[in-house]
Amino acid sequence: MSTLAETVQNELLEAIENDDLVLPTLPEVALRVREAAEDPNVGIAELSKVIGNDAALTARLIKVVNSPLLRTSKEITDLNMAVSRLGINYTSNLATGLAMEQMFQATTDVIDRKMRDVWNKSTEVAGICHVLCRHFTRLMPDQATLAGLVHQIGVLPILTYAEESNALLKDSISLNHIIDRIHPIIGERILRAWDFPEQIAIVPSNYLDFNRQSSAVDYVDIVQVATLQSYADSEHPLGQVDWSHVHAFAQLGLDVQSRISDDEDLSASMEAATLMLQG
């Protein structure tokens, strides 16, 4: 590890330890949607009204509900119909996850590209999570999708820090090393600060632990398998992981000898789910 990477890493870890690290806040629309969804008396019309204040999010939700994965025989053309089709909880989780895209923007080109890469990978993993969850577990696909969208949320404060450091902007190797080492710790801190449910909050700090053994299939297992699937056959270090040693595959009942992508229907569903989540 370079001296720069070590110095910055130590500074960030110390800031985390002392609660001095400025954590990002959820976009206002996501906060309002969650607050509304947590009201036991909220109805479809009220939730639609909250979401309807954000035109971009409204368009995204209507696009998602008309995607091949969720489409019904009748095309859904307005927000009320979309929320009715998805239900309150599903709509809340999906809206929260999609609203986060606006956080992945920066003022410098280098960091902006990096943030877009992180978001694109997050949507890819989230799409795979959605399909894996529906096909191989009895867990909630909307929760699995949200887990995929937030699994790298800890990268955000690191990139924000890097944006103010010329040295880091010019040293992508050190920056990537710091991200790999620290983003899981920061990610869990952020999700706990946002009051995310425990089963989602633990995802960032656990999804790269390939020795982990859960007692029952959970969202970490799904994100873990989805992440490895997203890097399958690539030169990335995660593309070199031996799936036969990863307990999460067994938890989902997957045969590691036959790649998930070999199943044409599953592969097509994963691609559709990823496109569904991308703008």
Rg (CA), the chain: 19
The pLDDT value recorded for residue 29 is 95
Q: What is the pLDDT of residues 53-63, one digit of tens each?
A: 999 999 999 99
The number of CA neighbours under 13 Å toward the Cβ of 107 is: 6
Segments of the chain scoring below 50 in pLDDT? none
The pLDDT value recorded for residue 279 is 67
Cβ atoms of 46 and 36 within 8 Å: the answer is yes
The pLDDT value recorded for residue 1 is 59
The pLDDT value recorded for residue 210 is 97
The pLDDT value recorded for residue 157 is 92
Q: What is the pLDDT of residues 68-111, one digit of tens each?
A: 878 777 899 999 999 999 999 999 999 999 999 999 989 899 99
The pLDDT value recorded for residue 78 is 94
The number of CA neighbours under 13 Å toward the Cβ of 206 is: 19
The pLDDT value recorded for residue 15 is 85
The pLDDT value recorded for residue 166 is 80
The pLDDT value recorded for residue 74 is 86
Domain boundaries, the chain: 3-22+104-277
3-22+104-277: CATH number: 1.10.3210.10
Place of tokens 């979309």: 82
- Locate all alpha helices (DSSP H) within the chain, ordered by sequence: 3-17, 28-37, 44-52, 55-65, 79-86, 88-99, 109-136, 141-150, 155-163, 166-169, 172-193, 198-201, 203-206, 219-230, 247-251, 264-277
